[in-house]
């Protein structure tokens, strides 16, 4: 088996272990958020945020090109055209994703635009802006790793970032678990009981933006949406109790990531696409289980 031979090789283990650690952290992170995304019907919002990241890629490329031309400051060096995607670049992409998410809320709430229309506008505008800025910057930044993920570029820095963000979001969800669950199931009733609905919405958008930036290195921007939807969709086919749903979502996400990594190693398929395919198969199985239970 290719997987066994890879992990038995100390040199390959040093390259692949950060990917596995980052993948498991991302799986846990996405599993927690996916439950709220599915129940609140925010799948299209997640897609808009993830695709808006391409606009952030363009901004990062333009900033890197400008600083490089200016003589190479510390930030310019950090955002240089090396093999990896730097922390500074991720910070720029996150800020752009967050701004896009908040802009969707502003357009939907004050601009007299339907939510799905606002998401579509922000999505296409961000991708178009990113494409133009990448072209204008003439940068050699490896933006493909943002779009489709790159197994060999996942290092320990990415793994520690994923772990840190996962811990931060997990703690945040635990602290606000009661109001955010109430708001997720019944926004109007939660307002009547004093839950700050706008705060809950902004908080969820911030967490989705963080999760998108975290997952894009492993699965890419194009497939990050699936990681934020499928685990929750699978879990809600298997249970209706919130605590059990969260457990099933975590299990599904972890199995999807580990199964995708093994299948990718064995068959040579792209990692991000393989993870999503495994999660899709798990969703089909969950639908079958739900149907069998219904028939009984």
Q: What ranges do the domains of the chain cover?
A: 2-10+17-295
pLDDT band at 73 (very low <50, low <70, confident <90, very high): very low
pLDDT in tens, 23-59: 899 899 999 999 998 998 877 777 777 778 778 888 8
Position 249 pLDDT exceeds 90: yes
> Between these two residues, 219 and 37, which has the higher pLDDT value?
37
Q: Are 20 and 262 in contact (CB under 8 A)?
A: no
The helices-and-strands tally (H runs, E runs) of the chain is: 15, 0
> Between these two residues, 168 and 136, which has the higher pLDDT value?
168
Buried b (16+ CB within 10 A) or exposed e, 244-283: ebbebbbbbbbbbbbbbbbbbbeeeebbbbbbbbbbeebb
Any idea which of 107-111, 138-142, 158-162, 218-222 has the lowest mean pLDDT?
138-142
pLDDT number for residue 1: 64
Question: Domain 2-10+17-295 belongs to what architecture?
Answer: Orthogonal Bundle (1.10)
pLDDT band at 141 (very low <50, low <70, confident <90, very high): low
pLDDT number for residue 279: 92
pLDDT number for residue 172: 94
> Between these two residues, 110 and 159, which has the higher pLDDT value?
159
pLDDT number for residue 20: 86
Its sign, for the CA torsion 53, 54, 59, 63, is positive
Across the chain, mean pLDDT equals 80
> Between these two residues, 167 and 209, which has the higher pLDDT value?
167
Any idea which of 81-85, 124-128, 258-262 has the lowest mean pLDDT?
81-85
What separation in angstroms does the CA of 95 have from each of 45, 120, 262?
16, 19, 33
Position 102 pLDDT exceeds 70: yes
pLDDT band at 214 (very low <50, low <70, confident <90, very high): confident
- Sequence-distant (≥ 6) Cβ neighbours of residue 197 within 8 angstroms: 183, 187, 190, 191
> Between these two residues, 145 and 64, which has the higher pLDDT value?
64
């Amino acid at each position: 088996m290719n997987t066994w031979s890879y992990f038995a090789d100390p040199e390959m283990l040093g390259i692949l272990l950060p990917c596995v650690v980052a993948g498991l952290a991302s799986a846990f992170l996405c599993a927690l958020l996916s439950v709220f995304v599915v129940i609140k019907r925010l799948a299209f919002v997640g897609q808009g945020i993830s695709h808006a990241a391409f606009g952030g890629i363009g901004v990062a490329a333009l900033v890197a090109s400008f600083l490089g031309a200016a003589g190479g400051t510390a930030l310019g060096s950090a955002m240089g055209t090396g093999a990896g995607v730097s922390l500074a670049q991720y910070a720029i992409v996150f800020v752009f994703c967050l701004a896009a998410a908040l802009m969707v809320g502003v357009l939907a709430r004050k601009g007299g635009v339907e939510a799905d229309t606002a998401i579509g506008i922000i999505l296409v505008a961000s991708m178009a802006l990113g494409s133009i800025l990448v072209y204008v910057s003439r940068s050699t930044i490896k933006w493909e790793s943002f779009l489709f993920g790159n197994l060999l570029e996942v290092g320990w820095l990415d793994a520690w970032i994923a772990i840190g963000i996962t811990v931060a979001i997990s703690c945040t969800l635990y602290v606000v678990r009661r109001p955010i669950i109430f708001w997720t199931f019944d926004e109007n009733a939660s307002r009547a009981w004093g839950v700050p609905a706008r705060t809950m919405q902004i908080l969820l958008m911030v967490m989705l933006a963080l999760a998108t930036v975290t997952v894009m290195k492993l699965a890419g921007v194009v497939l990050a949406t699936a990681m934020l939807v499928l685990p929750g969709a699978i879990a809600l086919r298997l249970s209706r109790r919130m605590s059990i749903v969260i457990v099933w979502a975590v299990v599904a996400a972890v199995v999807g990531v580990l199964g995708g990594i093994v299948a990718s190693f064995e068959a040579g398929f792209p990692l991000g696409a393989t993870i999503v395919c495994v999660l899709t198969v798990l969703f089909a199985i969950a639908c079958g289980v739900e149907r069998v239970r219904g028939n009984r």
